[in-house]
Every structure is written in structure tokens, then in C-alpha cells.
Amino acid sequence: MTKTIFITGASSGIGRATAHYFHERGWNIVATMRSPDKAAELAGMERVLVSRLDVLDPDTIASARDAARARFGQVDVLLNNAGYGAYGPLEAFPIERIERQFATNVTGLLAVTKAFLADFRKNKAGVIVNISSIGGQMTFPLGTLYHGTKFAVEGLSEALHYELEAFGVRVKIVEPGMIKTDFGGSSFDFCNDESLTEYQSTVQKLFAHWGKVGSNPSDPSVVAEVIWAAVHDETGALRFRAGADAEALLADRKAQDDATFIGALKSQIGLGSH
């Protein structure tokens, strides 16, 4: 029987690459996104259903799930990929943008997951893959909101795996490094207030640092390949790193204490200590 993967945020980047990767290997694809008109090339393919889904809108979650059931019967894998990054001094962010970051990356992910749990429990099978980031294990300056959400994704995924494995459902976390995606475009929410002069040196130094470290990002297909491996993993592994930079940075983070790792990162960025 042909298996089916349900993907959120499939209009670009990792979501789109994963849709193509699994499709090429014979899977049915449910590609969901806020604006389905952005997926013309997916919509024209056989074994692909393109549906509108906004993780902030429960009605679209339910309708996309129901459409998947109607078209393919059973969903075997849920890929929670939709999300974006809010960066900037916390003091500059209005509360509405703080709430939107957490609503999208955390509450929305939980809402989509919850929508599938009854089916997975009934089937006594299924895999949930949550896209985290290297930013779910380490932080960069000005990422209070983004890293807060990704640390949350790591924690909720780890805890969720206990309660779901009791009836045969596996939870996996994928941690990409720098990837060629739209993260710097519509998937990036930068907020700054230049009148808050004390933060501006950090803002400038961070962007300069990102310009250097982000000059050779991995292709989204690298992450799709890791997602494929995570879906098919039977070893009980929970976390999967994606990209050479993710491997190196997270190995260093694990090996070093806080002062050593954070001190080295501050030195690379050019931030002094006070």
C-alpha cells in the first residue's frame, strides 16, 4: 500500500523539497500551505494533494486533514515544517508579534499534531517529524523569540514521544543548520528600533557574522534526505542533524560547557563581555 506524508509549509524551502523527495520515492503527498497558488508545479503531479492550511486557523487544519483522508485514506507521516524566525531586541517587539511567533511555531504545531493523534492511535502506527533547528539546542544574540520557540519544539517533542510510543507512534526531531530557504525573506521577521541605541552594535555585528557563516548554506534537499532517514529509523533515535554546519556546531555545543561555547561564539561575532 502506498504511504502518505502530510506536510505543513510546503510552498517553499524544506517543505517543498521534502514533497518532491518523497514523491520521487513513490509516496502520496499532502502539501499544505497558506497560499496554495504558490504550488502550481506540485498541484499538477499525480499522487499529490495541495490544500490550504494556516496553523493559526483550526478550521483549515481540520479541512486539510479531512481532505487528506478523503483522497488517500490513511496519513502515515506528519511533517510539522511550517514556521518562521523572529529576530531582534526583545524590547523592540510589540506583544502581538511575540504572540504570533509562539502561536505559529509552537501552538500551531501542537494544533496540527493534535488533529492527527486520534487517527494515529486508531491505526497504532505513524511518525511525527518536527522541524526544529540548530537553534533548538543553541542560541544566537537577538533570537530570544525564535530560539524560545525552537527550544519549546525540542522539549514538547521529547515529552510527546513517551506518550505516543505506547501505541506505536514515533516522534522525531530534525535540526537543520543554515539552509537555502526563504528564512531571510517572508520566513524572517526582523524587528528593530534604532532609537534603542544600546542594541545597535549587536545588531550590526550579528548581521555581519551571519553574512560570513551563511555564505555556503546546505540545499533543502539535504534536510529532505534526513527527514526520509528519520521516518524510516527503527533505532529509537530522537534527534537528527541536517547539514555539515549543524553537525559541527551541535557537536561543539554538546562537548563544551556554557561558558566555553558561549564565549567562543561571542568572540566570533565580536561581542565583548561586560
**Predicted pLDDT at 215:** 64
- Confirm whether 200 is domain-assigned: yes
How many other CB atoms are found less than 10 A from the CB of residue 14?
A: 29
Domain hosting residue 93, numbered range: 4-269
Which grid cell is 30? 499532502
Question: Does the annotation count 266 as an active-site position?
Answer: no
Task: Give the span between the Cα atoms of 137 and 144, in whole angstroms.
Answer: 13
Q: Catalytic pick from 12, 84, 150, 218? A: 150
The tens-digit pLDDT sequence of the chain (274 residues) is 899 999 999 999 999 999 999 999 999 999 999 999 988 889 989 999 999 999 999 999 999 999 999 999 999 999 999 999 999 999 999 999 999 999 999 999 999 999 999 999 999 999 999 999 999 999 999 999 999 999 999 999 999 999 999 999 999 999 999 888 655 556 789 999 999 999 999 999 998 888 877 667 889 999 999 999 999 999 999 999 999 999 999 999 999 999 999 999 999 999 975 5
- pLDDT attached to residue 61: 98
CA distance 47 to 109: 25
274 within a domain of the structure (yes/no)? no
What confidence score (pLDDT) does residue 187 get?
A: 78
Set 51, 132, 133, 218: catalytic member: 132
Residue 128's DSSP bridge partners are: 78, 171
User: What's the pLDDT at 197?
Assistant: 96
Q: Report the pLDDT value the prediction gives residue 147, as an integer from 0 to 100.
A: 98
**If DSSP codes are grouped into helix, strand and coil, which group holds residue 194?**
coil
Q: Is 128:172 a contact under the CB 8 Å cutoff?
A: yes
205 included as an active-site residue: no
Is 202 among the domain residues? yes
Does any domain span residue 31?
Answer: yes
Q: Quote the pLDDT of residue 214.
A: 66
Q: Is residue 145 part of a domain?
A: yes
pLDDT number for residue 181: 64
Quote the number of domains for the chain: 1
Residue 79: all three cell numbers together? 511533517
CB 147 within 8 A of CB 136: yes
> Which candidate in 146, 157, 172, 199 is catalytic?
146
In a domain, 232, yes or no: yes
- The C-alpha cell that represents 129 in the structure block: 517529524
Q: 204 near 165, Cβ under 8 Å?
A: no
CATH number at residue 238: 3.40.50.720
Q: Is-catalytic flag, 150? A: yes
Look at residue 130 and tell me if it is in a domain: yes
H and E: helices and strands count for the chain? 10, 9
Q: What is the 3-state secondary structure (H, E, C) of 47-81?
A: CEEEEECCCCCHHHHHHHHHHHHHHHCCCCEEEEC
Full-model pTM? 0.95
The answer as to whether 127 is a domain residue is: yes
Residues 6+ apart with CB under 8 A from 89: 142, 191, 192, 193, 196, 199, 202, 203
